[in-house]
Amino acid sequence: MIPFLHLGPITIPTYGLMVATGMLVAYFVIRADLVRRGISPKDSGDAESLIAWPCLTGIVTSKIYSALESPHEFFADPKGVLLSQMGFTWIGGAIGGAVVFAFIATRIIRRANVPGVGFLTFMDMGATAAAIGYGFGRMGCLLSGDGDYGTPTSLPWGMSFPNGLVPTTDRVHPTPIYEFIGACLIAWLLWKMGSSFAVPNPNDKRSSPRTLAPHYQPGQIFAAYLVLTGIARFFVEFIRLNPRVLWGLTNAQISSLVCIIAGSILWFHLQSRQPHAAGT
């Protein structure tokens, strides 16, 4: 693996490079979603705000959450833990990023004042962008060999990480690749679901007028994201090296179960709503 790229006197962590790539891809996804839903033009700057600030906040809260998971290590060397290039958690980043994303989305909603577009619409768009961005972040884990790989395996695609940040010479499950593939599939599905809300292009004869009652209610894409991402992470944890903390489950599996339950409740709640309430 290649934890760092050395360009003369400049050292670039590959994990950070892939996180930045994920942010860039997520930016293009959410910008295209804003345009197809008729909320903001490409040059509005809304997509930049919806990606940059939540992502930067998510990186900080991800590190803090990870540090609090191991308080003994944190209090023994707080500076070393916080400045380490390892130790980031998905749930910690999701919490911090979601709060900032919600704040920015609320401001855009008030300014744009587009009929039928509310907070749940932005959660749907954020879910699609988050899914693909997460996948690229996991590829950063693969390149850096930061210990997010899985248990030993004899499968032909097993990999070793002798030069990783957390080295191992055993052939192990390349779980970041599994998660990247899963994230891409989830993002693709969420994007297709979002096409129900696209504003028709008057210059495209193939497009049809948007109905008053789209196939999905606003918020159901976000609910699907919670369920699908939770399922994917729950099962991959069985071949990850994370410690079991409760009922034989890891912290990530417990968080995943919460996401699955919350997403299912939200999905069926929205499904039961009347079509005329779709814009909330």
What tens digit of pLDDT does each residue of 43-79 get?
888 999 998 888 888 878 877 766 666 666 656 666 5
Model pLDDT, residue 280: 46
Model pLDDT, residue 207: 47
Q: What is the mean pLDDT of residues 188-195?
A: 93
Model pLDDT, residue 211: 46
**What's the CA angle centered on 222, arms 218 and 228, to 5 degrees?**
140
Model pLDDT, residue 41: 87
Burial class (CB in 10 A: 0-12, 13-18, 19+), 183: buried
Question: pTM of the full predicted structure?
Answer: 0.82
Cα 79 from Cα 120, distance rounded (Å):
38
Q: What is the mean pLDDT of residues 133-137?
A: 91
pLDDT digits (tens, 9 = 90+) for 240-277: 877 787 888 888 888 899 999 999 999 999 988 755 44
